Structure 1
Amino acid sequence: MTTALRRLRNYIDGEFRDAADGRTTEVVNPATGEPYATAPLSGSTDVDAAMAAAEAAFPAWRDLIPAERQKVLLKIADRFEERAEELIAAESENCGKPIALVRSEEIPPMVDQIRFFAGAARMLEGRSAGEYMDGFTSIIRREPVGVCAQVAPWNYPMMMAVWKFAPALAAGNTVVIKPSDTTPASTVLIADIIGSVLDELGHPRGVFNVICGDRETGRLMVEHKVPAMASITGSVRAGMQVAESASKDLKRVHLELGGKAPVVVFEDTDIAKAVEDIATAGYFNAGQDCTAATRVLVQESIHDEFVAALAKAASETKTGAIDDEDVLYGPLNNANQLKQVKGFIERLPAHAKIEAGGEQVGDKGYFFAPTVVSGLKQDDEIVQHEVFGPVITVQSFVDEKQAVEWANGVEYALASSVWTKDHARAMRMSKVLDFGCVWINTHIPLVAEMPHGGFKKSGYGKDLSAYGFDDYTRIKHVMTSLNG
């Protein structure tokens, strides 16, 4: 007996629709490896319809006073809380994430972030008006950019959707967002929530649209003539493709791409506390986080003690079913990602040593054991490239100079952390580490008020904070004569 698959649909101009040509893809629960739904495989007709809806809705949404847009976002945040259990269920099935962790670690910050941007809607700051030429007054206007084409990733489908639509809507833009083809369920539910709020408050339905599909669908969105801005959270390869496609008509591009965060542990660190926090920050969400604490550099005098403690912590970390409250993380998101993580382990050089884990867990789904690999060199593949799995690598450094050289010696530059009791050293390191975020004696906390974004191949533009809000605006100079 087969179970009928749930049917997910696009959300365009306030209506749920199948793809125009009827094409679909199967959506797989990564905890079981079995399909549970189908989603539209959208093509050019669907993208055209979504962009037309967003374009038509833009003037009215743009012209709302900020207080009215704030009301909409605050009601969306309230509705997220009211329908939290639906969102949790959708995201757990989407990603195989433990239910308890989605409830405690994702819903509260998402609601907070929406409310933050609701406030930011009323903070359209610019330099004061003034006379910079005799007889003329200059004024700065800050305006929305227009329709935004947004592509969200599969590691945090709900939260990354919030990071994209909340600042865009707050600034007065309209949105067409595409979730990953492996995780569309929670974004479709978000469309239902936002659509109901827009209807209740009498705003155009096309303000927020969701298109399901694959990489080709995303390309069609980015290359479409309507959007003024393209925003993606994803791999470096995907970001480069988006930047290239957007360059054809000089669209604005906002890229949050990969990471390879160095975790620099000096010999004066409280080893037990550092290991506890680093293990959590490295294995949370199965290491599928561009800021994950998965590249550890440890001063040689404490290396062996640290590695032993970290291996023990890994052996005590649990992965498993979504309803097990003792589980720290669930499965990898999809079969391809499991294959990628396995490949890194299989290709380890002879000088590397697996201290813990290193293998798939269970006979169904895409679970992988908490893993620690030591004995690595700076140019090893697993040190230089993003694994995006529950694998923590450890290198041994001699002094501060070498720590900085190795920490900065990758193509990514998103996040980093320094572990030391020496305040002066912490300040020196925070200055020279070439990363968009430097945590000191912690790793991975984020707040709505502070920016998240990197340098180099980690992309450009900021999420969260007033800086993230600014990215969705444009600056206009208005000059008027004082002589009639």
Structure 2
Amino acid sequence: MSTQEEAVTATQRLLIDGQLVETGASLASLNPANGEVVGHAPEAGVAEVDAAVAAARRAFDTTDWPTNHEFRARCLDQLYQALQDNVEELRALMIAEVGASYILTKGNQLETPFEIVKYYSGVLKGYTWTEDLGPVEIRGAQHQRWVEKEGAGVVAAIAAYNYPYQLAFAKLAPALAAGCTVVLKGAPDTPLITLALGELIANHTDIPAGVVNILTSSEVAVGERMTTHPDVDVVSFTGSTPVGRKIMAAASATLKKVFLELGGKSAAILLDDADYNLGAMFAAFSICSHAGQGCAITTRLLVPRADHDKVAELVAANLANITYGDPADPKNYMGPLISERQRDKVHGLVERAVAAGATLVAGGEKVDPGYFYKPTLLANVDPDSEIAQEEVFGPVLALIPYDDIDDAVRIANNSIYGLSGGVFGADAERARAVARRIRTGTFSINGGNYFHPDAPFGGYKQSGVGREMGVVGMEEFMERKTIAEVVSA
């Protein structure tokens, strides 16, 4: 039996109340590099959601999980070790099901997300759960006051397909560290890699039954039930902005805490004193990272109008050097899109952009077999056009000319999104000044990498609500209780 086959056979069950269970329905998982079936996963329905939420509610309300900080840290350490011990099986499955290139599994697709688990174990060990406000005199009596921090309750966590482990651990690890219990649903496009977590948790950790429950399903009703269930206290969702709007509206009926990590249309600005070669290389390799299937990727490149054509040539030359194909081959930088449906969407956006007046400089073609799409550059893009405003989620870069810095800032901020962005310039103070004017939750100067477990991640505007990672990422899953007692009269 191959490593891939071993990984698949171990990940075909849901985790509900400490038990690995099957259902009467199954969900096929396809390899996006060739369209072949990788395996089948059990499909959860509303009944499984109710069972998982009931288990999570019981574990939160009747066990010491929310208050035993030392035990939670130990369980996170066990999970981290289990991930390390099974990394090669998980890598094979990540490549086969997600289409992630081997090089990405060495970073943000697999191994880097492990560090999120380790990070929150460390935070938990040193975190101060009580904040002393000191005494105050009220009507002749001394009142001692303090604030206690505690887990918010049952969390419904819903992750997208593009970076399933990074998205899962950015929710699961801080929620568990905070003392919450969790029902995690993976994306229907990548069910097996999500269910692999359930196998590791059930067999290699002391996490009690009900604390973590893992589901997969393609049924809309499952997500709807998770986000409206009366016993769910917190909803954490990563996905598209339209779906995020619906979740926020649905959760409002019971006033749940809602965290949303949504779409992006981030802009990178090349200033006139920038190293154009560096900026062009960064833009090309960024847009092709995981075939452009990343919400924080800079998908718009803003360049001085006088140098537009020069930069277009540099970007096109870098795109020509992008290797793509079988993601299991370490020589390939870019893998496929997740599905034929997604590839059709990307191709349609490119065709409409050209029809609207953009210049197709490179790419714009489907590549078979599998769901590959050539690295694509569109130049002379109107900043108000569809291709400059809509999230593509494919390897498509829009090159937009600007007249001066104020114009560049205006174009960069001309979006309903505000997730990320970048600027390139030789004058550090000038580049920082531009960075501070862009309304986004993360930002890169001259290629700086902001992504790390200790760095808050999230967006402005319709890119989301709240932050993942960092200490604030754990505090998203907490409530604060202010207590006062009379100490003297």
* TM-score, structure 1 as length reference: 0.95
* One of 97, 100, 106 as aligned partner of 1:97: 100
CA contact (8 A) 1:33 1:365 kept: yes
Q: CA shift at 1:175, angstroms?
A: 0.6
CA contact (8 A) 2:105 2:111 kept: no
Count of aligned pairs between the two proteins: 475
The alpha-carbon distance between structure 1 residues 36 and 63, as it changes in their structure 2 partners (threshold 3 A), is: closer
Q: CA shift at 1:125, angstroms?
A: 4.9
* One of 195, 210, 226 as aligned partner of 2:231: 226
CA distance in 2, matches of 1:259, 1:23: 34
1:162 paired with 2:169, answer: yes
Letter in 2 for 1:355: V
1:359 paired with 2:342, answer: no
**Structure 1 ranges of 4+ moved more than 6 A:** none
Q: How does 1:160-239 map to 2 (within 5 A)?
A: 160-198=167-205, 201=206, 203-214=207-218, 215-239=220-244
1:376 paired with 2:377, answer: no
The alpha-carbon distance between structure 1 residues 12 and 84, as it changes in their structure 2 partners (threshold 3 A), is: same
The alignment partner of 1:129 has SS state of strand
Letter in 2 for 1:11: L
The alignment partner of 2:288 has SS state of helix
CA distance in 2, matches of 1:33, 1:469: 38
Tell me the alpha carbon deviations over residues 222-281 of structure 1, each in whole angstroms, 9 at most, x when there is no partner.
111111001100000111111111111111100000001110111111111222222111
After TM superposition, the structure 1 stretch with the greater mean CA deviation from structure 2, 148-157 or 8-17, is 8-17
CA contact (8 A) 1:267 1:301 kept: no
Q: How does 1:304-383 map to 2 (within 5 A)?
A: 304-348=309-353, 349-362=355-368, 364-383=369-388
CA distance in 1, matches of 2:149, 2:129: 7
Match of 1:303 in 2: 308
CA distance in 1, matches of 2:481, 2:357: 58
* One of 355, 376, 387 as aligned partner of 2:392: 387
Tell me the alpha carbon deviations over residues 260-303 of structure 1, each in whole angstroms, 9 at most, x when there is no partner.
11101111111112222221112101010011121110112322
CA contact (8 A) 2:108 2:166 kept: no
Q: CA shift at 1:158, angstroms?
A: 1.4
CA distance in 1, matches of 2:473, 2:67: 21
CA contact (8 A) 1:408 1:434 kept: yes
RMSD: 1.7
Match of 2:55 in 1: 53
The alignment partner of 2:149 has SS state of strand
Tell me the alpha carbon deviations over residues 63-118 of structure 1, each in whole angstroms, 9 at most, x when there is no partner.
44322211111121111111101111121122112234313443331121111111
Match of 2:37 in 1: 35
CA distance in 2, matches of 1:9, 1:197: 16
CA distance in 2, matches of 1:444, 1:233: 21
CA distance in 1, matches of 2:335, 2:327: 7
Q: CA shift at 1:193, angstroms?
A: 1.1
CA contact (8 A) 1:72 1:197 kept: no
CA contact (8 A) 1:222 1:245 kept: yes
CA contact (8 A) 2:280 2:311 kept: yes
The alpha-carbon distance between structure 1 residues 360 and 424, as it changes in their structure 2 partners (threshold 3 A), is: same
Q: CA shift at 1:350, angstroms?
A: 4.2
1:153 paired with 2:160, answer: yes
Gaps of 5+ in 1: none
The alpha-carbon distance between structure 1 residues 131 and 382, as it changes in their structure 2 partners (threshold 3 A), is: same
Q: How does 1:423-442 map to 2 (within 5 A)?
A: 423-442=428-447
CA distance in 1, matches of 2:280, 2:435: 21
CA distance in 1, matches of 2:15, 2:197: 10
Q: CA shift at 1:36, angstroms?
A: 2.3
CA distance in 1, matches of 2:21, 2:71: 28
The alpha-carbon distance between structure 1 residues 220 and 289, as it changes in their structure 2 partners (threshold 3 A), is: same
CA distance in 1, matches of 2:450, 2:93: 24
Q: CA shift at 1:62, angstroms?
A: 3.5
Q: How does 1:75-86 map to 2 (within 5 A)?
A: 75-86=78-89
After TM superposition, the structure 1 stretch with the greater mean CA deviation from structure 2, 293-302 or 151-160, is 293-302
CA contact (8 A) 1:142 1:476 kept: yes
Letter in 1 for 2:27: T
Q: CA shift at 1:153, angstroms?
A: 0.4
* One of 442, 459, 469 as aligned partner of 1:464: 469
After TM superposition, the structure 1 stretch with the greater mean CA deviation from structure 2, 285-294 or 118-127, is 118-127
Q: CA shift at 1:192, angstroms?
A: 1.1
The alignment partner of 2:443 has SS state of strand
1:283 paired with 2:285, answer: no
CA contact (8 A) 1:91 1:158 kept: no
Match of 1:44 in 2: 46
The alignment partner of 1:383 has SS state of helix
The alpha-carbon distance between structure 1 residues 395 and 126, as it changes in their structure 2 partners (threshold 3 A), is: farther
Gaps of 5+ in 2: none
After TM superposition, the structure 1 stretch with the greater mean CA deviation from structure 2, 300-309 or 389-398, is 300-309
* One of 117, 120, 124 as aligned partner of 1:117: 120
CA contact (8 A) 1:293 1:443 kept: no
CA contact (8 A) 1:175 1:207 kept: yes
The alpha-carbon distance between structure 1 residues 317 and 354, as it changes in their structure 2 partners (threshold 3 A), is: same
1:9 paired with 2:13, answer: yes
The alpha-carbon distance between structure 1 residues 106 and 145, as it changes in their structure 2 partners (threshold 3 A), is: same
CA distance in 2, matches of 1:319, 1:418: 27
CA contact (8 A) 1:317 1:328 kept: yes
Q: CA shift at 1:443, angstroms?
A: 5.7
After TM superposition, the structure 1 stretch with the greater mean CA deviation from structure 2, 171-180 or 319-328, is 319-328
CA distance in 2, matches of 1:304, 1:24: 51
Letter in 1 for 2:166: M
Match of 2:68 in 1: 65
Q: CA shift at 1:126, angstroms?
A: 5.3
The alpha-carbon distance between structure 1 residues 62 and 129, as it changes in their structure 2 partners (threshold 3 A), is: farther
The percentage of counterpart residues that share the same residue type is: 31
CA distance in 1, matches of 2:74, 2:440: 36
CA distance in 2, matches of 1:61, 1:272: 56
* TM-score, structure 2 as length reference: 0.94
The alpha-carbon distance between structure 1 residues 88 and 230, as it changes in their structure 2 partners (threshold 3 A), is: same
